[in-house]
């Protein structure tokens, strides 16, 4: 790393870590493709994963050292802010593609889906059960991590930031474990129509972001313990908070749209509140809709499982 006294920025010296990260990422991608083709190479995946962890750890260590030496001027920090803001924007567009797919199928279901959404045979999760608990966890974690940031800006390095970070890490960990439990008990898989595919892609990628955010919070907690943050210089922690709030917002949108609205439960509540009179006529006079497949007593005879096939 060479600092030019006549420049606001500095040019990092030659580093082997980008090369090793690229090689390990390529190895993990090849290992994933082999696993999908039922010829897994655990040696390749293991070596690539270890190389990735060691390389990223060394790369981040060098980056932290640059800041401790004094190379991260306010102009460098501004470039970090701009770059991370663009990264958040790219993440927004990443989830936007999946939401677009979800809306494309939910607002105009094709004949292959029975012209109904959710498709017939899909028993969607109850939004007032596990997912509501997960929503409360993430909203609470956002409040605690914000309080930790506020405490740090007030130069409280002993109690406030530690409590906020620890509680946020616990909330993120519990969220991920509860999501795994929800996957285990769901009555459909990723192969069950486009609903299952989009549902597990949206919630699964969000779960991966929760894991990454939780690890980042753990790293920030260690750095806080070592005294590497101050009230004026803590962009690493601040970027972590931005990322965590992004994860919170995505989940709230996901819960409202996927679980409540297009999961069928909002329409079911509206249907029950008006006692079926949602089209200015009573339910017995209405044509069959997807709601008929939620209530077993309203399902047609061809949809029900014959008695001799029931266990």
CA dist 46 and 136 (Å) reads 36
pLDDT over threshold 50, residue 287: no
- Share of residues in the chain with pLDDT > 90 (%): 38
Please give the mean pLDDT across all residues of the chain.
Answer: 82
The DSSP element (H or E) to which 2 belongs, if any, is: strand 2-3
List pLDDT tens digits, range 250-284.
Answer: 999 999 888 888 776 666 666 666 665 554 444 44
Tokens 């420049």, residue? Answer: 7
Model confidence pLDDT, tens digit, residues 74-101: 788 888 889 999 999 999 999 999 999 9
Phi and psi, residue 127, nearest 5°: -70, -15
Amino acid 7: pLDDT: 61
Confidence tier at 109 by pLDDT (50, 70, 90): confident
Q: Which H helix or E strand runs over 262?
A: none
Q: Is the pLDDT of residue 204 over 70?
A: yes
Q: Domain 1-71's class?
A: mainly alpha
* Structure token pair of residue 278: 């949602």
For residues 44 and 30, give the distance between their C-alpha atoms in angstroms, rounded to a whole number: 8
Specify the pLDDT at position 275.
Answer: 63
The pTM assigned to this predicted structure is 0.77
Helix runs in the chain, H state only: 17-36, 42-69, 74-107, 130-153, 160-185, 193-225, 235-254, 265-273
Domain range annotation of the chain: 1-71, 74-271
Q: Which pLDDT score, from 0 to 100, does residue 13 have?
A: 77
Rounded CA separation 140/169 (Å): 11
Q: Which CATH number fits domain 74-271: 2.60.40.10, 1.20.120.80, 3.40.50.2300, 3.40.50.300?
A: 1.20.120.80
Whether residue 292 has pLDDT greater than 50: no
């Amino acid at each position: 790393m060479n600092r030019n006294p006549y420049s606001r920025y500095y040019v990092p010296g030659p580093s082997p870590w980008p090369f090793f990260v690229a090689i390990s990422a390529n190895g993990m991608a090849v290992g994933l493709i082999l696993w999908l083709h039922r010829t897994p190479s655990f040696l390749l995946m293991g070596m690539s994963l270890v190389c990735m962890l060691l390389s990223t750890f060394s790369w981040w260590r060098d980056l932290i050292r640059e800041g401790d030496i004094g190379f991260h001027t306010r102009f460098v920090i501004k470039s970090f802010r701009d770059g991370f803001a663009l990264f958040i924007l790219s993440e927004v567009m990443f989830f936007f593609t999946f939401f677009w797919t979800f809306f494309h199928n939910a607002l105009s279901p094709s004949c292959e889906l029975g012209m109904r959404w959710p498709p017939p045979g899909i028993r969607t999760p109850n939004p007032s059960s596990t997912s509501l608990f997960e929503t409360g966890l993430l909203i609470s974690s956002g409040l605690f991590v914000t309080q930790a940031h506020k405490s740090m800006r007030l130069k409280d390095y002993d109690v406030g930031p530690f409590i906020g970070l620890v509680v946020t890490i616990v909330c993120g960990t519990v969220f991920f474990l509860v999501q795994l439990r929800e996957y285990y008990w769901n009555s459909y898989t990723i192969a069950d129509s486009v609903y299952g595919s989009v549902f597990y892609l949206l919630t699964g990628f969000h779960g991966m972001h929760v894991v990454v955010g939780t690890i980042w919070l753990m790293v920030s907690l260690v750095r806080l313990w070592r005294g590497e943050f101050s009230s004026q210089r803590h962009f690493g922690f601040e970027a972590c908070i931005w990322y965590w709030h992004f994860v919170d917002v995505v989940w709230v949108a996901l819960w409202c749209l996927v679980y409540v609205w297009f999961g069928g439960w909002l329409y079911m509540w509206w249907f029950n509140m008006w006692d079926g009179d949602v089209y200015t006529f009573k339910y017995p006079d209405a044509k069959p809709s997807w709601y008929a497949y939620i209530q077993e007593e309203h399902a047609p005879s061809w949809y029900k499982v014959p008695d001799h096939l029931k266990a």
